[in-house]
């Protein structure tokens, strides 16, 4: 069973190991030399946005969220809105890097070299739209599942005096929560699989991505966790060597301390955290691109360099029809198999 989950041995299984390895190779081998160029503008923009938010006192502070229940509703809504606005502005550099890195991963450096000075375009708006859609979808599944488990827990609590039912309720809560988390994150990832198609092909791919990724929630989640491992290790090692921690820039409870000359350590730790966050974005973008290519079987156009084989062995020898999207030079090739 473990081999089937990780290796994708059944006909429609998602190859977890291969996807993680291809993602590693895409970021840390094939395209590593392009990372400084792709991340330079987002890094500088992140610092400028951070400085501006600190100057106008809009820099997101987690303490704001923890204190929302202690202020009037109107003030709490305003504080939450300002917090989300700051988070949205801080995410713009990561959105720029994500779009450039997905295109680089799928089309290669000759057809889609990362720009040194990127410009915001409709591609970034589409990417943001799909990100919101995936976030809302995953959150809706999480909330609906949590509500169902809560109602079930209330029902079982009526039999609190019966030990077997109490134990059963505990098991249902643990297993149900794990299932809902997997389903919610899987829903988010399945919706995000349509994003690369909007960046490299003009056709709409949301329905096809959703259909072909059916039943792959757990595999997608396991593959994503495996992809995150090296970034987490690098991040923890970097902060350990720097003598700081992930919470160090906010240790004083005031974001303005980042730019105080007498506290250079805070700024250095924040710079390191920003670099690691951009690396995290590149890794996530590569994972989405590789998963998109694997599940939807999209290949670069013939005029591009020879495409890297899709990370799944079951593509060989399987019947299907190849059709070129007439949308343009970057539309690529789709291989649509039949489940029947």
Packing angle of the helix pair 16-25, 264-296 (nearest 10 deg): 130
Residue 336: what are its φ and ψ, rounded to 5°?
Answer: -100, 105
> Would the pLDDT of 288 be above 90?
yes
Residue 242: per-residue pLDDT:
62
pLDDT in tens, 96-149: 999 999 999 999 998 899 988 888 888 888 889 889 999 999 999 999 998 988
| 132-146, 263-277, 325-339: the lowest-pLDDT one | 325-339
Q: Rounded distance, CA 207 to CA 254, Å?
A: 45
Backbone angles phi, psi at 205, to 5 degrees: -125, 5
pLDDT the model gives residue 42: 95
Tens digit of each residue's pLDDT (9 = 90 or more) over 5-46: 444 444 456 889 999 999 999 999 999 999 999 999 999 999
Q: Which two tokens stand for residue 31?
A: 């395209």
pLDDT at 222 (0 to 100): 93
Contact 51, 254 (CB under 8 A): no
Give per-residue pLDDT as tens, 59-107.
777 777 777 777 787 877 888 888 888 889 999 999 999 999 999 999 9
Q: Which residue has the higher pLDDT, 238 or 261?
A: 238
Averaged pLDDT score across all residues of the chain = 77
Q: What is the distance between the alpha carbons of residues 128 and 6, in angstroms, rounded to a whole number?
A: 31
- Euclidean distance between CA atoms 151 and 85, whole angstroms: 34
pLDDT for 271 beyond 70: yes
Residue-level pLDDT at 319: 36
273 vs 41, higher pLDDT: 41
Confidence of residue 263 (pLDDT cuts 50, 70, 90): low
Residues 64, 236: Cα–Cα separation, whole Å:
26
pLDDT, position 28: 92
pLDDT (mean) for 141-170: 77
Domain map of the chain by residue range?
Answer: 2-227+267-336
249 against 192, higher pLDDT: 192
pLDDT at 37: 94
The pLDDT of residue 251 is above 90: no
- What separation in angstroms does the CA of 62 have from each of 130, 229, 299? 26, 25, 42
Task: Name the maximum alpha-carbon separation found in the chain.
Answer: 71
């Amino acid at each position: 069973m473990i081999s089937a989950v990780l290796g994708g041995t059944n006909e429609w299984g998602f190859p977890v190991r291969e996807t993680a390895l291809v993602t590693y190779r895409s970021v840390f081998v094939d395209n590593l030399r392009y990372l400084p160029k792709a991340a330079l503008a987002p890094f500088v923009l992140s610092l400028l946005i951070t400085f501006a938010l600190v100057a106008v006192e809009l820099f997101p502070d987690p303490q704001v969220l923890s204190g929302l229940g202690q202020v009037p509703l109107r003030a709490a809504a305003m504080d939450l809105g300002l917090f989300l606005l700051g988070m949205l502005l801080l995410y713009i550099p990561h959105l720029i890097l994500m779009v450039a890195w997905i295109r680089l991963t799928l089309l290669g450096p000759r057809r889609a070299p990362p720009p040194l000075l990127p410009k915001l375009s409709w591609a970034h708006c589409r990417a943001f739209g799909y990100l919101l859609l995936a976030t809302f979808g995953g959150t809706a599944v999480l909330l609906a599942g949590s509500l169902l488990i809560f109602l079930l827990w209330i029902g079982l609590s009526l039999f609190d005096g019966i030990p077997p039912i109490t134990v059963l309720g505990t098991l249902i809560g643990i297993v149900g929560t794990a299932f809902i988390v997997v389903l919610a994150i899987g829903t988010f990832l399945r919706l995000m699989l349509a994003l690369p198609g909007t960046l490299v092909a003009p056709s709409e791919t949301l329905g096809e991505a959703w259909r072909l990724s059916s039943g792959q929630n757990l595999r997608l989640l396991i593959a994503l966790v495996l992809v995150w491992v090296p970034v987490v290790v690098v991040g923890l090692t970097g902060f350990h060597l720097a003598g700081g921690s992930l919470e160090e820039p906010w240790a004083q409870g005031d974001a303005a301390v980042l730019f105080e000359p007498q506290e250079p350590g805070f700024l250095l730790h924040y710079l390191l955290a920003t670099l690691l966050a951009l690396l995290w974005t590149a890794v996530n973008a590569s994972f989405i691109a590789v998963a998109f290519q694997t599940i939807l079987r999209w290949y670069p156009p013939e005029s591009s360099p020879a495409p890297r084989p899709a990370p799944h062995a079951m593509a060989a020898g399987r019947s299907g029809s190849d059709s070129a999207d007439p949308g343009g030079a970057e539309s690529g090739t789709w291989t649509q198999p039949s489940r029947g």
